[in-house]
Structure 1
């Protein structure tokens, strides 16, 4: 059996956590994946993985072997990429995941330009505010907002997203305009955002003259999807913080009103993220560069 293929398959099993997920991401039969790992263990005369019915864990020898070979595989991919990318015309199927508001307001309206530049790329665009697992879901890259939790991933910061505090004219007419963030705890109704992964409510942060406040506020509605937040704001259901690239056009049209302007809100970093052990193919590199250029042009996005 091919030793290099066995090493690549072993690495994917370690990254995916199960033989089944590794086989799916590699588009190989599970039996082939199992045989390739067994061949590698037999050749090395060491046990690399502990297998259970539900999950695979790495032995100490397997962890050491993965660490060494992952670097070698990455170097090999980089060498091959450097030889081919200069001549390669970006083409093929590309899986990208982005948040719902980013898809609606930034990515999808600009895709005609992307296809003019790269007509041979077939884009599978996953649209969700739920974090995806790039390895097990076989995703080439994602655009994510917020500080990264997975330190093993490669990330390129492409923008800073300011948040603004807003409400609809109808809500403010009925409930008055808040003049201090603490009034959101007592006199107003908030629309909160909660984490899909943990269920935790994200606090609303306010900064002024060195003072920092975290306000949860009274709420009747919380959501875990950014377009639902916009719909709730437009329906007059409360006060909320949302991305400036979504809010500012609605403010300019009079559909939302900015409140507490003297209190600065949090700024969220935006990244393009991709797995560490995959070289940037021509199609991935094309999307990453295009996305960075696109975000740099956004009028309500910081660099």
Structure 2
């Protein structure tokens, strides 16, 4: 068991490049982690890390050892967690990352039913619109779209990620008619600025019959949040290009209506992500299956589709 603990200290230190950060994630002291790794090096008879006051880097032997043991360590930990589950049911802390507004609107309302089914699971949910390091930061799962898929991570599709043009009835009544994407150049646009890059992306509109046309909406103002852009458009202040999950409530209530309803932006998929393991922890499998089931039962993929 001592060797197993030392291997865990080594793997976590290698993942984050720091004894201090590994100690924080393992609820140990940095000295304890460093001592544990030193014992492992003594037992193996090789140096696993090159240490300096500013950095911790793997040696060639350390890199080879990490490749050989990291997957097995995860499999063993997951097996232990599954066996230790409360009365055979999924249990433990479930660390999940999701977009702030998307999570509040569509995932948080599922929490009551999820906990009724799995009372031994303790949600640890993080609301952030940035992509997280699923493995390095110790997340069990993440929900989002437009993410690069790093090695060792798999994605299960929940719905298409479509963006649509919306405006209020008052705005459309008081401005020039719009029958083609080129007409948008004369209209006030409420554009979305990326909170990560600070840039306003250039979008390409797609027609239902797969024609394409660049979006030429004139920038009247910029927002970093689709929900805020919807609320602004509802005041008759311009045309917004927003993600369907945020627009759908306004559209169904009649507060906003689609502009050029045959045109939309295809922004990939919204998916649920998790680390690929031979033995997936019961709590993670329960959450992934539950979210996919609820999206199907509630018809969210259909509601979020622009076509």
Q: TM-score range by the shorter chain?
A: 0.7 to 0.9
C-alpha distance 94-86 of structure 1, shift in aligned 2 (>3 A): closer
Residue 50 of structure 1 is matched in structure 2 by: 50
1:11·1:70 contact (CA, 8 Å) conserved in 2?
A: yes
Secondary structure, counterpart of 2:301 in structure 1: coil
Cα distance in 1 for partners of 2:12, 2:109 equals 35
Matched, 1:25 2:8: no
Output the TM-score relative to the length of structure 2. Answer: 0.85
Hey, what's the Cα distance between the residues in 2 that align with 1:140 and 1:40? Answer: 28
Q: C-alpha deviations, 1:11-55, integer Å up to 9, x for none?
A: 112222322222111111111111122222222233322334444
Asked if structure 2 preserves the Cα contact closer than 8 Å seen for 1:156 and 1:273, the reply is yes
- Map residues 112-261 of structure 1 onto 2, 5 A cutoff: 112-184=112-184, 186-208=185-207, 209-215=209-215, 217-261=217-261
**Are the aligned partners of 1:129 and 1:225 in contact in 2 as well (CA < 8 Å)?**
no
Partner residue in 1 for 2:40: 40
Partner of 2:14: 14
Q: In 2, are the aligned partners of 1:244 and 1:301 still within 8 Å (CA)?
A: no
For residue 273 of structure 1, what is the aligned residue in structure 2? 273
Distance, in Å, in 2 between the alignment partners of 1:199 and 1:42 is: 49
For the structure 1 residues 108 and 149, does the alpha-carbon distance in structure 2 shift closer, same or farther, using more than 3 Å as the test? same
Contact preservation (8 Å) 1:25, 1:135: no
* 2:191 partner SS: strand
Number of the residue aligned with 1:65: 65
Cα gap change, 1:10 to 1:187, in 2 (>3 Å): same
Asked if 2 retains the 8 angstrom alpha-carbon contact of 1:245 and 1:301, the reply is: no
More deviation, 238-247/282-291: 238-247
Over the residues paired in the alignment, what is the CA RMSD in angstroms? 2.8
TM-score scaled to structure 1, two decimals?
0.86
Distance 1:175 1:278, change over 3 A: farther
Aligned-partner SS, 2:143: strand
Contact in 1 for aligned 2:94/2:284 (Cα 8 Å): yes
Ranges in structure 2 where 5+ consecutive residues have no aligned partner? none
- Counterpart Cα distance in 1 of 2:164 and 2:117: 34
Q: CA deviation at 1:293?
A: 0.9
Where structure 1 has 5 or more consecutive residues not aligned to the other structure, the ranges are: none
**Shift, 1:143, TM fit:** 0.8
Number of matched residues?
A: 302
Change (3 A) 1:109 1:59: same
Alpha-carbon distance change, 84 to 255 in structure 1, aligned in 2, over 3 angstroms:
same
How many angstroms apart in 2 are the aligned matches of 1:58 and 1:277? 24
- Give the match's secondary structure for 1:255: coil
SS at match of 2:181: coil
